[in-house]
Amino acid sequence: MIQDPAQSTPYGTLPPASPLANRKPVSLPRLLEMRARGEKITMLTAYDATFAAVADAAGVECILIGDSLGMVCQGLPSTVGVSLETMRYHTESVSRGIRRAQGTAWLIADMPFGTYQESKEQALRNAVVLSQAGAHMVKVEGGGWTAETVRFLVERGIPVCAHLGLTPQTVHALGGYRVQGKSDASADTLRRHAQELQDAGASMLVLEMVPHALAASVTQSLPYCATIGIGAGKDTAGQVLVLHDMLGVNLGKMPKFVRNFMADGGSIRGAMEAYVAAVKNGSFPDNALHAW
């Protein structure tokens, strides 16, 4: 039962009810409403039950079970080696944690490399595995050819988040973790792919490491799709960061666009709350750090 405000009991004083108490589960219509109203959407990655529950309690609306877990949990050199079984395991763990904590977050699971490229039927089979593990939405990387797959999944009741710009699963083809969409031609291609993905039914689109002006113009042109930026400036509908990066526990080189929120927050829950506040009030990210 929610106690409100702080109350004395035979067992001591209960804290006042969290302002987050009695929250409704985050839904796709609600996220698209936020996008339409201009309220920033917050997303963090999480890979286990406890961190997911803490992020949820800190007010993070969307939790991404990202295949970045290959690097941060498994010690792999890239996301290329992450398997469907690993994604299923972590998705189930996050989903259980959210349920146990009576959380409300919208859960998005990455479809790993090699699990959707072969055919739309293969994509559906594997998206079902992640949905049954607790994902509300699946994420696929790439433009052009993915639109047909996105349409196939959406028509069959599986919401899809697309991912353009730096797509880590194709790091070898891209020649490294580089900014994308810098030339006029590549920016035009990215804009066209974004439009095709929205038309196919993608209701979210991660834009990773693209110039902020390009991310802003894509966001403007997609009224039915919530753009989520990472290294793409502040003018997207929302933001995402890799949990370990924003807590300052990255094993490699910290990307330039990341802020260490532990410094602001003082604790893991505090860091997540500081992140939510900074995204909502527009103080993170700083476009000056995205002048690619």
Residues forming contacts to ligand KIV in the complex (CB under 6 A) are: 45, 64, 66-68, 110, 206, 208, 230, 240, 242
**CB of 289: closest distance to ligand KIV in angstroms?**
16
Distance CA 116, CA 138 (A): 11
Report the alpha-carbon distance of residue 153 to residue 148 in Å, rounded: 9
User: Cβ 142 to ligand KIV, closest distance in Å?
Assistant: 12
Based on CB atoms, which residue is closest to ligand KIV, 35 or 244?
244
Rounded-to-integer distance, Cα 55 and Cα 64, Å: 11
| In the complex, residue closest to ligand KIV by CB | 66
> In this structure, are residues 63 and 38 in contact, taking their beta carbons and an 8 Å threshold?
no
Tokens of 165: 């710009």
C-beta closer to ligand KIV: residue 58 or 258: 258
Among 67, 30, 25, 47, which residue's Cα sits nearest to residue 226?
Answer: 30
Shortest approach of ligand KIV to residue 12 CB, angstroms? 40
Assigned token pair, 178: 């580089």
Task: Give me the least distance between CB of 184 and ligand KIV, in Å please.
Answer: 25
For residue 72, the minimal CB distance to ligand KIV (Å) is 8
CA distance 202 to 196: 9
Cβ of 175: how many Cβ atoms within 10 Å? 7
Minimum CB distance to ligand KIV, residue 169 (Å):
9
CB contact at 8 A, 45 and 241: yes
Q: Are 265 and 272 in contact (CB under 8 A)?
A: yes
Pick the closer one to ligand KIV by CB: 66 or 103. 66
For residues 292 and 289, give the distance between their C-alpha atoms in angstroms, rounded to a whole number: 8
Which helix (H) or strand (E) segment holds residue 99: the answer is helix 84-100
Q: Please list the active-site residues.
A: 208
Question: Distance between CA atoms of 53 and 266, rounded to whole angstroms?
Answer: 18
Tokens of residue 139, six digits: 């994420």
Helix (H) or strand (E) holding 106: strand 106-110
Nearer to ligand KIV, 166 or 271 (CB): 166
